[in-house]
């Protein structure tokens, strides 16, 4: 029993050390990609910064920065281990912002309070469902007339919602293509 507790504690310590190393070694540098979304009512703004992980091609550290009338907040979601870069934005029925990652780390930003926390811990019990309004997603896209792939906010008018947290992978063309690779 004690061995299991020590092992579990060691796992938490290791996770904490890796997160601190990312904060000090990777995130202080300028991000390779940055995209910002201002909500339609301009009450809040969210920016996603993407940083390559040294020595790990195709893997990225990410930082979400929120800004609103009551203040700013920052969170560092789990690293994108390749192919899971999409981060979807939703307006909640109460007018706040829900951020849903493809790796299951979801955040709730309350612009009025200037706070961010896990969407799962949100007391109001809102979930990513029909009550949420899809605002778009940060993702890598190919833009006609421009060379290469670019990181930006993709609006709902450009591309329908594609989030495995809400729908099956079969509903998302980009994810189906990634599965074939």
pLDDT at 177: 41
pLDDT at 96: 81
pLDDT at 66: 92
pLDDT at 49: 93
Q: Which long-range contacts (CB under 8 A, 24 or more apart) does 107-112 make?
A: 107/64, 107/75, 107/77, 109/44, 109/46, 109/66, 109/68, 109/73, 111/39, 111/43, 111/44, 111/66, 111/68, 111/69, 111/70, 112/68, 112/69, 112/70
Per-residue pLDDT of the chain (181 residues; tens, 9 = 90+): 444 444 444 444 444 444 455 555 555 578 888 999 987 776 788 999 988 888 888 788 889 999 988 889 999 888 877 777 788 998 888 778 888 888 778 888 888 888 888 877 554 444 555 678 889 999 888 777 666 678 889 998 988 887 655 544 444 544 444 433 3
pLDDT at 22: 52
Boundaries of every domain in the chain? 31-180
Non-local (6+) Cβ contacts of 92 within 8 A are 98, 108, 124, 126, 131, 132
For residues 160 and 99, give the distance between their C-alpha atoms in angstroms, rounded to a whole number: 16
End-to-end CA gap in the chain: 43
Report field, pTM of the whole predicted structure over 0.75: no
């Amino acid at each position: 029993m004690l061995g299991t507790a020590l092992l579990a504690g060691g796992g938490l310590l290791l996770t904490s050390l890796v997160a601190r190393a990312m904060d000090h070694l990777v995130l202080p540098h300028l991000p390779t990609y940055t995209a910002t979304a201002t909500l339609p009512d301009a009450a809040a703004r969210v920016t996603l910064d993407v940083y390559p992980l040294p020595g790990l091609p195709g893997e990225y550290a990410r930082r979400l920065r929120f800004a609103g009338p009551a203040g700013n907040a920052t969170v560092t979601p789990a690293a994108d281990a390749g192919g899971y870069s999409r981060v979807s934005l939703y307006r909640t029925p109460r007018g706040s912002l829900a951020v849903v990652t493809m790796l299951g780390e979801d955040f709730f930003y309350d612009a009025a309070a200037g706070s961010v926390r896990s969407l799962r811990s949100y007391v109001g019990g809102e979930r990513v469902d029909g009550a949420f309004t899809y605002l778009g997603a940060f993702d890598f896209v190919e833009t006609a007339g421009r060379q290469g792939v670019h990181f930006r906010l993709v609006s709902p008018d450009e591309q329908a919602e594609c989030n495995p947290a809400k729908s099956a992978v079969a509903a998302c063309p980009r994810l189906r293509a990634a599965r074939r690779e």
